[in-house]
Amino acid sequence: MSMTQRVNLENMRHGTELLKRGFAKMQEGGVIMDVVNAEEAQIAEDAGAVSVMALERVPADIRSSGGVARMSHPDMIKEIIETTSIPVMAKARIGHDEEARVLEALGADMIDESEVLTPADPFFHIAKNNFTVPFVCGCTNLGEAVRRVAEGAAMMRTKGEAGTGNVVSAVQHARLVANEIELAQSSGEEGRTEMVDVIMQGFQRVNRASSFNLDSNTTPFGTMEEVRAEVTSVLEDVARLGRIPVVTFSAGGISTPADAALMMKHGMDGIFVGSGIFKSSDPVQTAEAIVLATHHFEDPSVVAEASAMIGEPMPGLEIETLDVRLEERGW
């Protein structure tokens, strides 16, 4: 994915899609920070964040606490909305339409259908075109990204492995997506049809789970034929544009200014960061430094300056030692 390949907002397929993707494009080139209270939201805003993500616990605490992770309490979300002047996003569980409807009613500016929370539906994600509020979703590969955009996501993020302070999964996902985009571009019509066949398998989870040779043709997003047509259209956009056809950020494990610069050099449009700031020794300085490095990722001297601003980064985790891999959630 190249930063020079911009998203064309003039030719969207759904009535509210121009507005949804237009909002996502406003975040381009910036940093979105996870916050758990109004004080942290103010730190993020003062540091230059383009948005905040309101949640009760940063991913590192969700990971260490275990149990079922759900949508944040409405009072906390409303407090952050009322005390910051930048857009406020909030997380809903994968497939949990009603959490998403609550967040939309609360006035969240964007909903993250997030693998950081415990999935609610083992078969399908939320039908995002049924909402006015835009959605951001995670992906580990191009097929996952195409499915989410076909479902109505206005923004994507590579998943990484949230709450680890380890950027390796974010790099893995960015490289895999970039190489699969090249495959879509170099494949002819027949080759892309085969790619669509593979992508469509992600909508067959109910059939595969049944003991009765189930062959259901319905999904929350329409019939299988309608979904295939949308998937084909999105993949054609990918081949034509040379990138995912919505604004695409990197997330998961970014904890230093150099990490942020690295992901921007991988062609990301911006950065999500949470635990990496508020689990560091100096959240204020770390927040400012990551914003600085993101804005000036092509200038090593500025990234070096940003790197010198921070104290101790958050302690990191080796991916191979994890009992739960959040990046594996999502279908």
Taking the chain (331 residues) in consecutive chunks of 10 residues, what is each chunk's mean pLDDT?
47 53 76 93 94 83 80 94 93 97 95 94 96 95 98 93 86 97 96 98 95 94 97 97 94 93 96 82 93 96 96 78 72 83
Instruction: Determine the Cα–Cα distance for residues 82 and 87; give it in Å rounded to an integer.
Output: 11
Torsion of CA 136, 141, 147, 151, to 10 degrees: 0
Burial 156-166 (b: 16+ CB within 10 A, else e): bbbbbbbbbbb
Give the residue from 128, 140, 67 showing the smallest Cα distance to 103.
128
User: In the chain, what are the domain boundaries?
Assistant: 17-185+246-328
Please answer whether residues 177 and 1 qualify as being in contact, where contact means their C-beta atoms are separated by less than 8 angstroms.
yes
The pLDDT of residue 278 is 81
pLDDT number for residue 12: 42
DSSP H helical segments within 48-161, as ranges?
59-65, 74-83, 97-106, 142-151
Q: Which of 151, 174, 196 is nearest to 327 (CA)?
A: 174
Q: How far apart are CA 23 and CA 87, in angstroms?
A: 10
**Residues 291/76/73/49 CA torsion (nearest 10 deg):** -10
pLDDT of residue 28: 75
* Contact of 156 with 142, CB cutoff 8 Å: no
Active site residues: 91
DSSP 118-139: PPS-SS----GGG-SS-EEEEE
What pLDDT is recorded for position 201? 96
As a whole number of angstroms, the distance between CA 52 and CA 27 comes to 11
Q: Which CATH number fits domain 17-185+246-328: 3.40.50.720, 3.40.50.300, 3.20.20.70, 3.90.1570.10?
A: 3.20.20.70
Q: How confident is the model at residue 322, as a pLDDT?
A: 66
Residue 148's pLDDT is what? 98
